[in-house]
Homo-oligomer: A and B are copies of this chain.
Amino acid sequence: MTHPRTQNKDAYTLILEAIDLGVYKPGDRLVESDLADRFGVSRTPIREALQRLETQSLLTRDGRSLIVASLDHNQLAELYAVRSELEGLAARLAARHATQEEVRVLQEMVSDDRALIGDANGLARANRRFHKMIHLASHNRFLVQQLDMVHRSMALMATTSLAAEGRGEVALQEHQAIVTAIKARNEDAAYDALKRHISKAFETRLKLSADR
């Protein structure tokens, strides 16, 4: 059997998850008919999903066929440059526009996440939720969309910076600083705190890359 037919997700989501889980790694070639067999649908929905993923730069063309995009060192740096600016903007706008309820949820998240220290997977999920919440608190749909795109591209990186020893605790402290700034409606402080946070994460990731 190929796959449980009880999948109610569309081809796009299925392929995206497969990339996320590392089933398809950067450089792998994606063949329409293979995916069609694998997911039990015809080539057409697969084609549409592949095109969407291509426009989001998760796939790239090598001649006529599509391969999973890969990030070299330069592209990683470029991605982080854009990310830190956009996340900084999100923090600034969140400090300006977040509702009291959103601020309280952010504070709760940071407090609750302390329980996850040591659990790299849990922390990674919690981290995504935290940043997503800040994006939403900016109340800027375009920004949310652009940041979604940035985060999707980050799926092309194998490991998360939270895998580094001790990074979890430090990251949580940084999260707390961000929330504190937003709570105080201090836009500049929120911007700086988030930018520094991303900067630190990038540094940590660089060290990880150098280890291999």
Contact surface of A with B, Cβ cutoff 8 Å: 44, 47-48, 51-52, 55-57, 75, 78-79, 81-82, 85-86, 89, 93, 140-143, 145-146, 149-150, 153
Q: Give Cα distance in the complex from A51 to B50, angstroms.
A: 11
The reply to whether B145 and A57 contact each other, CB–CB distance below 8 Å, is yes
Chain B's nearest CB lies how many Å from the CB of A145?
Answer: 7
Q: Give Cα distance in the complex from A55 to B142, angstroms.
A: 12
Which residue from B48, B55, B85, B93 sits with its C-beta under 8 Å from A56?
A: B55
Q: Give Cα distance in the complex from A4 to B149, angstroms.
A: 37
A89-B81, A142-B153 known; A55 vs B52 contact (CB < 8 Å): yes
Q: Give Cα distance in the complex from A44 to B48, angstroms.
A: 9
Task: Tell me the number of copies of this protein.
Answer: 2
Q: Which residues from chain B contact A48 at a C-beta distance below 8 Å?
A: 47-48, 51
Q: Give Cα distance in the complex from A45 to B153, angstroms.
A: 26
A47 nearest in chain B by CB position: B48
The reply to whether B51 and A81 contact each other, CB–CB distance below 8 Å, is no
The reply to whether B47 and A78 contact each other, CB–CB distance below 8 Å, is no
Which residue from B51, B140, B146 sits with its C-beta under 8 Å from A146?
A: B146
A44-B44, A47-B48 known; A146 vs B89 contact (CB < 8 Å): no
A78 nearest in chain B by CB position: B140
Q: Give Cα distance in the complex from A93 to B86, angstroms.
A: 15
